């Protein structure tokens, strides 16, 4: 088979784009399109070089670790090592899924005769429409597979949160380590419109108006309002309005905690409206 470098580059560019997009989707990472496309282009360029390289096994192994590690840094802003490690593991899982799909296609279809692989890099001499169909088909399978996993995980970690007589579903989030620095109480994150609260407070939350706190304290002293510093999953820092409810129960058991109101949508499909603190991981 004659290997055309432009087809090799385009094939790997398309695959890297979909892999990084899958990683962003599963890991819940926001990514700028130019960063994602730039990382995919860099990955495709290195893939072209690696396809034709004759390297010792040990050096090849190190390069195949270094390239994905670098692509993740190019595509996603570095926040902390734990976030980077989680994203790297997600990228690896997406690669395994895509790689398994490619191997199955290669082994069980006649079109597999139009595919070559060298040093783990794929070359597919296929019509453009079939290449696009395959790539986006694997992307859809990966998205569906991880969506089912997320649903199963959510089902195991969903609990009934009762706040002053109002019930809502809450997800136990091991990443939520927010405490009130004054009372040292754990903090439950709730979507701002999930609870029946005074309109004045909801308006201040919606407009992120921290200056309204003194007035709100005078109007609603029973809420014990305060502002809490918060860093979300993207690394953005903000202040959240928080209050202490009279009654807070999880699955019917009384707990002591603050409720912090966030504008961030905590569940894309609205399956839950709050995130419980990681201190309750034994629920």
Token output for 4: 């055309």
Q: What residue ranges do the domains of the chain occupy?
A: 5-126, 157-280
- Cα–Cα distance measured from residue 17 to residue 32, given in angstroms and rounded to the nearest whole number: 12
What pLDDT score was predicted for residue 245?
94
Predicted TM-score of the model (pTM): 0.53
Contact 242, 260 (CB under 8 A): yes
**8 Å CB contact between 267 and 215:** no
Beta pairing partners, 168? 161
Q: Which residues pair with 167 in a beta bridge?
A: 162
E-strand ranges in the chain read: 115-118, 121-124, 158-163, 166-172, 187-191, 226-231, 237-243, 248-250, 253-254, 258-262, 274-276
Query: pLDDT at position 150, please?
Result: 67
CB 196 within 8 A of CB 166: yes
**How much is the pLDDT for 117?**
73
Grouping H, G, I as helix, E, B as strand and the rest as coil, residue 182 is: coil
Give 186's DSSP letter: B
**pLDDT tens, the chain, 283 aa long:** 677 788 888 888 888 888 888 888 777 777 888 999 999 999 889 888 888 887 787 887 888 888 888 899 998 888 778 778 888 888 888 887 777 776 677 667 665 566 777 777 777 766 777 777 777 777 777 777 777 766 666 656 788 999 999 999 998 887 788 999 888 999 999 999 899 999 999 999 999 899 999 999 999 999 999 999 887 766 678 899 999 999 999 988 999 999 999 988 888 667 889 999 988 866 6
The per-residue pLDDT for 237 is 80
Question: CATH second-level architecture of 157-280?
Answer: Beta Barrel (2.40)
Is residue 235 within 8 A of residue 79, CB to CB? The reply is: yes
CA atoms within 13 A on the CB side of 63: 17
Helix (H, G, I), strand (E, B) or coil at 2: coil
Token pair listed for 95: 């690669």
The pLDDT assigned to 129 comes to 74
């Amino acid at each position: 088979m004659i290997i055309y470098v432009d087809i090799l580059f385009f094939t790997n560019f398309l695959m890297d784009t979909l892999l990084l997009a899958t990683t962003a989707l599963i890991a819940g990472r926001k990514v700028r399109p130019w960063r994602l496309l730039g990382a995919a282009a860099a990955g495709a360029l290195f893939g072209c070089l690696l396809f034709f390289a004759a390297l010792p096994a040990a050096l090849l192994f190190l390069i195949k670790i270094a390239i994905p590690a670098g692509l993740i840094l190019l595509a996603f802003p570095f926040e902390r090592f734990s976030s980077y490690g989680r994203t790297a593991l997600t990228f690896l899982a997406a690669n395994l899924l895509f790689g398994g799909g490619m191997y199955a296609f290669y082994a069980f279809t006649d079109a597999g005769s139009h595919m070559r692989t060298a040093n783990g890099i794929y070359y597919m001499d296929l019509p453009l429409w079939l290449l696009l169909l395959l790539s986006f088909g694997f992307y859809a399978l990966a998205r569906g597979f991880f969506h089912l996993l997320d649903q199963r995980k959510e089902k195991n970690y969903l609990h009934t949160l009762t706040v002053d007589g109002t019930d809502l579903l809450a997800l136990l989030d091991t990443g939520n380590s927010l405490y009130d620095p004054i009372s040292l109480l754990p903090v439950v994150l709730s979507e701002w419109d999930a609870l029946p609260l005074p309109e004045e407070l909801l308006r201040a939350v919606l407009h992120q108006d921290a200056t309204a706190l003194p007035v709100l304290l005078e109007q609603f002293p029973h809420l014990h309002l305060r502002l809490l510093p918060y860093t979300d999953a993207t690394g953005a820092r903000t202040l959240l309005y928080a209050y202490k409810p009279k009654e807070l129960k999880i699955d019917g058991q009384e707990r002591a905690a603050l409720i912090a109101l966030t504008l961030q949508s905590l569940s894309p499909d609205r399956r839950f409206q709050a995130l419980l603190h990681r201190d309750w991981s034994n629920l």
